[in-house]
Amino acid sequence: MTASASAATGSQYDIELRKVTLLFPRPDGTGNLPVYENFDLVVDQGSFTVLLGPSGCGKSTLLNIIDGLLSPSRADALNVLGRDLRRDPDVTRQCAYVFQNPRLLKWKTLRGNVEFGLRGLNVQPRARWPELMDKYFGVVGLRDFMDYYPHQVSGGMQQRAAIVRAFVNEPRILLMDEPFSHLDEITAAELRRELVRLWTQDDVRRTVVFVTHDITEAVQLGQRIIMLTPRPAEICFEQIVDLPYPRKMDDEGFVEIERTLRRVLVERAGVPA
């Protein structure tokens, strides 16, 4: 699988989308619904970018486009890690996805599920697998549960295992689609802390694109928060968050940013306060 030289772009961004248009056929057959229309997005290497917006505005769809799972109807540029996604689809082996639900195979142990991901992406040499699994299962506190089946552990632990499945491939880009929205607040808070720890501990910072509809979560995690409007999705506001990690929710700067975002949400996205 040699990628052609023409797939290399000179892009200095980890993710560069230019004029992306995505149309879905309307259910009643009367033409198409524009989900994205001439949409631009760039993401710097090693940054933590949060896509913030109400449910249903197509944020997950954007992740699917970046991961090469969905082809846009039109795009001027679709560059991931400096390569044209359309010519070198293999580059997305450097991306790992964490879904809203754990999406674990119920007939495999947690260890087996992580191996499934390792085998699929095939970016880690097999000799390193045991050491990698030991490390990342350890970081999330699941080392003693590696040989359990999903139904034998809690929802929070299942989602941790899904995070391990992504991290163990040491991906350059991490795509996360509201991964904590289906968990109770306590577990979600724990996992947010663990995520930040995992992300800040790595020698080479991974690029994270994190989707959420929760403003507080966005400010807790993101360096750059991009607010999207519903279809056709547009960037209506961008907020840089310069606070150090781990962030405190009662910190003045934190609260100020939250307030700003809430105000914008009311003004631009038409959500009542």
Partner 1 sequence: MRNRVAQAGSLVAVLLVWAAISALVGRNIIPTPLDVGPELGEIVSTGRFVGPLTESLTRTFIGFAVGFAVGLAIGIATAKVKWFAVATGPLMNIVLFAPTLVVIFLGIAIIGTNLISIAVITCIAVAPNVAIYMRDVMRDFDPDLTAMADSFRASAGQRIKDLYLPYLIPSILAAARIGFSMSWKVIMLAEVFGFAGGLGFQIRINYGIYNLTALLAWLAVFVIALLLIEQLIRGTERAIVRWQP
Partner 2 sequence: MTTATTSHAISRPVGNGRRGKTLRRVLLGLLPVVVLVALWWAGAAALDRPRVYPTPPLVLEALGAIASGQGEVGSTYVHIAATILRATAAFAVSLVLGTALGIVAGRIPLVFSLLENVIWVFLAVPSIVWVFIFAVALGISNVVPVAALAALLTPMVLVNVAEGAKSVPSDLVEMSRSYHVTTWQRTKGLFLPYLVPYIASSARTAFALALKLVLVAEVVGLATGVGYEVKYWYTRLFMAPIVAWAVVMIVFGILVDYLVFGRLERWVGRWKGRTAGEVTLGRVE
Binding test (CB under 8 A) with partner 1, winner from 97, 136, 167, 237: 97
Q: How far is the CB of 2 from partner 1 (least distance, A)?
A: 17
3-state secondary structure of 63: helix
- Backbone φ and ψ of 21, nearest 5°: -125, 130
Indicate which single residue of 18, 19, 86, 93 sits in contact with partner 1 (rule: CB under 8 A): 93
How many whole angstroms separate alpha carbon 84 and alpha carbon 86? 5
Return the residue of 26, 119, 143, 268 that touches partner 1, per CB under 8 A.
119
Q: Of the candidates 19, 21, 54, 99, which one interacts with partner 1 according to CB under 8 A?
A: 99
Q: Is 69 in the site for partner 1 (CB under 8 A)?
A: yes
Separation CA 64–CA 209 (nearest Å): 12
Measured distance CA(185)–CA(190) in Å, rounded? 9
One-letter amino acid at 29 equals G
Beta carbon of residue 41, minimum distance to partner 1 (angstroms, whole number): 19
Phi and psi at residue 249, in whole multiples of 5°?
-70, -20
Enumerate binding residues for partner 2 (CB under 8 A): 1, 22-26, 29, 31, 68-71, 73, 85, 89-90, 93
**What does 149 bind: partner 2, partner 1, none (CB cut-off 5 to 8 Å by kind)?**
partner 1
- Which of partner 2, partner 1, none does 25 bind, CB closer than 5 to 8 A by kind? partner 2
Size, binding site for partner 1 by CB under 8 A: 23
Q: How far is the CB of 29 from partner 2 (least distance, A)?
A: 6
Pairing assessment for the beta strands 32-43 and 48-52 based on DSSP bridges: unpaired
In the block, which residue shows the tokens 């359309």?
86
Query: For residue 170, how many other CB atoms are within 10 A of its CB?
Result: 17
Number of CB atoms found within 10 A of residue 146's CB: 18
Q: What angle do CA 210, 214, 219 make, to 5 degrees?
A: 70
Report in angstroms how near the CB of residue 94 gets to partner 2 at its nearest. Answer: 13
Q: How many CB atoms lie within 10 A of CB 201?
A: 9
103 binds, among partner 2, partner 1, none (CB under 5 to 8 A by kind): partner 1
Binding partner at 73 among partner 1, partner 2, none, C-beta below 5 to 8 Å by kind? partner 2
Check binding of 61 to partner 1 (CB under 8 A).
no
Cα(12)–Cα(231) distance, rounded to whole angstroms? 29
What SS3 class is residue 155? helix
Does 126 bind partner 1 (CB under 8 A)? Our answer is: no
Q: Which of the listed partners (partner 1, partner 2, none) does 201 bind, with a CB threshold of 5 to 8 Å by partner kind?
A: none
CA pseudo-torsion sign 150, 153, 159, 163: negative
**Which of 96, 146, 208, 221 is the binder for partner 1 (CB under 8 A)?**
96
Residues that bind partner 1 (CB under 8 A): 67, 69, 92-93, 96-97, 99, 101, 103, 105-108, 116-117, 119-122, 149, 151-152, 165
